[in-house]
Chain A
Amino acid sequence: MSCEIDIRGLTKRFGANTVLDGIDLCLQPGERVAIIGPSGTGKSTLLRCLNFLDRPDAGVLKLGDLTVDAAKASRAQILALRRRTAFVFQNYGLFANKTARQNLTEGLTVVRGWSAARAEARADEILAQIGLADRGDSYPASLSGGQQQRVGIGRAMALDADLMLLDEPTSALDPEWVGEVLDLIRRIADGRQTMLIVTHEMQFAREIADRIVFMEGGRIVEEGPPAQIFGDPRDARTRAFLRRVG
């Protein structure tokens, strides 16, 4: 079975602390994988290492025909990797000096070299999909938390990336906005976008993911289909975690 996205031996240390300890992970095209596990076990760091927001110390990343050796990745390789991935941040990370529409077009015109007209047409399409067709000219400061995160997700959608990385996309939201954001992610998942999502919403993970990965202490402890992980976890640590989060 060939992997569309193949991660081998990914390792990240902060000083003496090993946060990722040789992660191996393979994603099929269109596969939706949710990562769960206790706080501080390297889930977010794993996502951040995949597009070099944190620079991994070792490991090999393969995206389609692009292969990057983390230990000696060149600037060009890092940019190429980032251009094939899209990242959704916990704190949205919207450009405060750009309107909602400009947040969506920025990557297309500046990075991909699209014409302004083409990028705007694409942005308007996405604004409609995320339910913000009438807020394209609003600046982030005038949007609600839920709306901001939908723009953040829209920005990732616009890039049409091989892999979408979502880092706890609802954990900074007030409870009232969580539903609309989960709905949007669910719709994207339904479109068979290859995605890796770190989340604390167990029910949601179970619902949208093809596969659940349980991490602890910088390692993958156990992975498998949602029914198996949630219904019949094999490792004691997985069972203990799932009992805690109820």
Chain B
Amino acid sequence: MRSTILATAAALLAMAGTAAADTIRVGMSGGYFPFTFTRADELQGFEVDFLRAVAEETGDEVEFVTMSFSGLIGALEAGRIDTVANQITITPEREARFAFTQPYVYDGAQVVVRQGNETEITGPEDLRGRSVAVNLGSNYEQLLRELPYADEIDIRTYESNIEQDTALGRVDAFVMDRVSTSQVIEQSRLPLVQAGAPFSEIQNALPFRNDEAGQALRDRVDAAITTLKENGTLAEISQRWLGDDVTAPAEGADAAPAE
């Protein structure tokens, strides 16, 4: 085992010297419907199809590495994966650390409540005095904390299963991107409804390590995304999984485009 470890280490060191990686290692949680999940042990979803299409464009192999969401960013920083395909939202903090591609999903933050509560909670302003679940390490926690009345919200971070806990009534609501909440409500048997309109425009993109090799790979992947947008492949993947094209900025959206 020791020699394997050493050999792998040597191979990786050698690889780090060259700018191009033959295999793009993509980290994802595997637990985020309909972007990444398994059925009968087969990994699938929007992100999976998207990254396969990207790899086909760049001519690289793609290797999916699934791990708990909270480990993904650490794995990226530690060089164990090359990027994270898990609806990673661009934030100023993350932009300072990582080299992002152009956004490939434009979305909004959505409040979801248990059926029957939608008359009481009709949007983010009704979250005062309520308990709200968000995924640990996601940027929805940040979005909630930026609300002027953030200190009146009982924000709870979860490793997984926030939909379930909202349906069970353990928390009053959860906040996630609008697109996946639609899918969750449609596909699951859980008694959940969207409460009001999305409250913040968000853009999701692929982060890479901010070093020479990472930026080079980012550039290659970014060019591939441009192609996939132009030839309609990305829109088609979006329609297939989300029943809607969320890969272009919404009409009249005033969000600044990503760097």
A contacts B: CB pair < 8 Å: no
Binding site for B on A (CB under 8 A): none
Binding site for A on B (CB under 8 A): none
